[in-house]
Chains A and B, each alone.
Chain A
Amino acid sequence: MMIILYFLIVSAVFASLSFFIKNKILHIIIAVFYSFMQIGLTIYAYLNINNFDSVYFKFDSLSILLNGLLNIILIPVLFHSKYYIERHVATIKNRGRFITMIIILSSALSSIYFTDNVVLVWVCLEITTICVTFLIYHERYIAALEAAWKYLFISSFGITIAFLGILFLSVQGNNANEVSLSFTHLNSIAHNIDPLFLKIAFLLLITGYSIKINVFPLYAATIDAKTTAPFAVNAITSTALINGGFIAVFRIYAIISKTDSFKWVQNILFIVGIISLFIVSIQLFKVRRFKRMFAFSSMEHLALIFIAISLGKIGLYAAMLHLVFHTLSKTGVFLHFGQIRAFFQSAWIKDTGDYFKKNGFSALVYIFSILTITAIPPSGMFVSEFLIFKALFETKQYITAVLIIILLTIIVYLIFKHSMQLLFGKLPENFKQENAIVSKFEPVSQIFLFSLVIYLAYFPPEFFTELIKSVLQIF
């Protein structure tokens, strides 16, 4: 079967239609149909788990899990895009372009999740670079241009570095046929690949893809991008796109887990995780904008996931759980930022204040969101972080655990400190109540997403647990 190929063709048709036809109703219809098509793809993949779809794609548990997450977040993202477009996008032409880019980005992400070919993952990640660049620059202001340029250039640089990694990986698996660079084939010949080449490949791949995963070393451009990108775009780039970069690295990690170089790679992940955590705890002191703070929060969670994975199989379940919860909660947080931006007409922390008094219900939702991303009970992320620490103690990494606790305490303190200004701080004199936009329905999606995190953490359905457990069987 070639279901994904058909999916990509129909997506291309949808994207073209919304690009060329300037009709508001048509844009909504396309967005709705595209969401249904995405859900259909996930259901089909679940029903055909572990089957191939042409030679380039395979439906495995990890790809189904991540595409399912993309489906869940895509509906609120498209719903909130309506608010974003109404408030910030003047022309119908630009509205069409926005929907087009979201469709291309989402389709590229689905391809990344489902593809079984290391080069196709690379190609799709490069497509996401181009889409995200245009989405960052969507409002056409100077800071957005700067951020878009930085993202485009550093990302293209990173992607080229990753390509070098793929070349090293291809040394022994090269027959120039369709399966030679498939993950399945590389898994089967992992033992035969020169360990030095494997290590170089992994190092280059993690360096190159770090801009997508939002971790050390190429994190800076992606943080800048998230500082200026529209909130609806951030809701995807801080979650599903990160998952795309993650799966690209994780699949290589799974291949190396079958070789003697496994310990070395685990150390690399651990180092990347710890350095990223250090950077977040320092950078949060300087943060002055909400989106920048949330972008660093994503970096913190991915750092924790890397540390958990570096512990081996024991930390893997916690890492996967944390990835799922991070995706859901960070989408909610960025969507909520859209409301803060509409209420105070500013993205700066200093321009906000007295949120509790002025917009009580939304303020409650914001507290809910902050509790969720800082992993404070009843947040579901508390469960995954608890499991990460359990894994750390079980592997007798006491000093590391204490160090992480200290860094997390700093991070939580700083996030709350910045949030206090919004919730209870003095309202700036230039605030005009008549300019504040409040929508009753907007917080609903966030409540749903944060509640879903709690539900999946404390009452996980069987199929969800089974999916995560079968991810562990990759090793």
Chain B
Amino acid sequence: MNLILLIILMASLVYFFLTERTSNYVKILTLQGTLLFAIALINLIDISTLALILILLETIIIKAIIVPQFLNQLRRTNNLRRVAQSQVAVFYSIILIVSIIIISFFAAYYVKNQYIQLSFFTVSISTVLGGIYFIIIHKNLFNHIVGFLIIENGAFLLSLAVGGEFPFLVSMAVLIDILMAVLIIGVFVNKIGSTFGDMSISSLNKIKD
């Protein structure tokens, strides 16, 4: 079951580079949020009720409901449909993301350790690197948020890979922090959209000397 969920997660990562519709990005993020919840639920066997509530909050409530809703609102406000602003052709991006996945396999085997779950570790590295690559190849700020959220998903998976379970209070602080950051980033993107007229990174060039 674990493997199937991880394969779907990996496929969803590749799909980010195949599609150019912003609505699809939001749908994939919703899917990833739900998958992360399922993976966490299966693997964290001796989990306390508080920790379970926290994971439910982080994955289903925040990653699969609140953030996608917020992104959809952002999309509608700024009239974003298809954002064909990738600086690299889809074909090359697919080759690169597949290469990232393969490299992640080798990297995971290199750091092999009794304390980490190798399959999670591999997918988390791929997701983090995939998120960084997604940000690099896109000029649109909306896509930068999507890339940032992909990295966040990778970080969540990495916490599962290393058996990461923080004390409740600390986990709560982390959760609120991440949610706040995403919402504030969204607010600023909205502001940039209305001030600059478009949401491309190339319009942000007023500061350089």
A174-B164 contact, Cβ under 8 Å, with A129-B181, A167-B159: yes
Determine the chain B residues whose CB is within 8 A of the CB of A170 once the complex forms.
162, 164, 166
Nearest Cβ distance between residue A133 and chain B, in whole angstroms?
7
We find that the number of chain B residues with CB closer than 8 angstroms to chain A is: 41
Nearest Cβ distance between residue B12 and chain A, in whole angstroms?
19
Query: Looking across the interface, which residue of chain A has its beta carbon closest to that of B132?
Result: A157
- In the assembled complex, B113 has its CB within 8 A of some CB on chain A: yes
Determine the chain B residues whose CB is within 8 A of the CB of A194 once the complex forms.
113, 115
Chain A binder among B25-33, B66-74, B91-99, B147-155 = B147-155
- In the assembled complex, A7 has its CB within 8 A of some CB on chain B: no
Partner of B207, one of A146, A156, A174, A197: A146
Partner of A288, one of B128, B195, B209: B209
| 0/1 string, B134-153, CB within 8 A of A gives 1 | 01000001001000100110
A257 CA to B112 CA, complexed, in Å? 24
A287 CA to B207 CA, complexed, in Å? 11
A153 CA to B191 CA, complexed, in Å? 14
Determine the chain A residues whose CB is within 8 A of the CB of B184 once the complex forms.
130, 133, 152
A126 touching B177, Cβ below 8 Å:
yes
Determine the chain A residues whose CB is within 8 A of the CB of B174 once the complex forms.
119, 122-123, 163
- In the assembled complex, B109 has its CB within 8 A of some CB on chain A: no
B151 touching A157, Cβ below 8 Å:
yes
A142 touching B188, Cβ below 8 Å:
no
A127 touching B204, Cβ below 8 Å:
no
B155 touching A146, Cβ below 8 Å:
no
A146 touching B158, Cβ below 8 Å:
no
- In the assembled complex, A286 has its CB within 8 A of some CB on chain B: yes
A133 CA to B163 CA, complexed, in Å? 33
B148 touching A146, Cβ below 8 Å:
no
Determine the chain B residues whose CB is within 8 A of the CB of A180 once the complex forms.
167
B152 touching A167, Cβ below 8 Å:
no
- In the assembled complex, B192 has its CB within 8 A of some CB on chain A: yes
A265 CA to B195 CA, complexed, in Å? 44
Nearest Cβ distance between residue B186 and chain A, in whole angstroms?
11
A152 touching B167, Cβ below 8 Å:
no
Nearest Cβ distance between residue B14 and chain A, in whole angstroms?
22
- In the assembled complex, A339 has its CB within 8 A of some CB on chain B: no
Q: How large is the interface on A (under 10, 10 to 19, 20 to 34, 35 or more residues)?
A: 35 or more
B206 touching A286, Cβ below 8 Å:
no
Determine the chain A residues whose CB is within 8 A of the CB of B196 once the complex forms.
142
B167 touching A176, Cβ below 8 Å:
yes
Determine the chain B residues whose CB is within 8 A of the CB of A133 once the complex forms.
184, 188
A292 CA to B208 CA, complexed, in Å? 10
Determine the chain B residues whose CB is within 8 A of the CB of A176 once the complex forms.
51, 165-167
- In the assembled complex, A143 has its CB within 8 A of some CB on chain B: yes
- Which B residues contact A (CB, under 8 angstroms)? 51, 111, 113, 115-116, 128, 135, 141, 144, 148, 151-152, 155, 158-159, 162-167, 169-170, 173-174, 177, 180-181, 184-185, 188-189, 191-192, 195-196, 204-207, 209
A122-B174, A126-B180, A178-B167 known; 15 new pairs, CB 8 Å cut-off, are: A120-B173, A133-B184, A142-B195, A145-B195, A152-B185, A156-B148, A156-B185, A160-B148, A170-B164, A171-B115, A176-B167, A177-B167, A196-B111, A200-B111, A287-B209
A-B contact pairs, 20 of them (CB 8 A): A119-B174, A120-B170, A120-B173, A122-B174, A130-B181, A133-B184, A133-B188, A146-B206, A148-B188, A150-B207, A167-B164, A174-B163, A174-B165, A176-B51, A181-B166, A196-B111, A197-B111, A227-B207, A227-B209, A228-B207
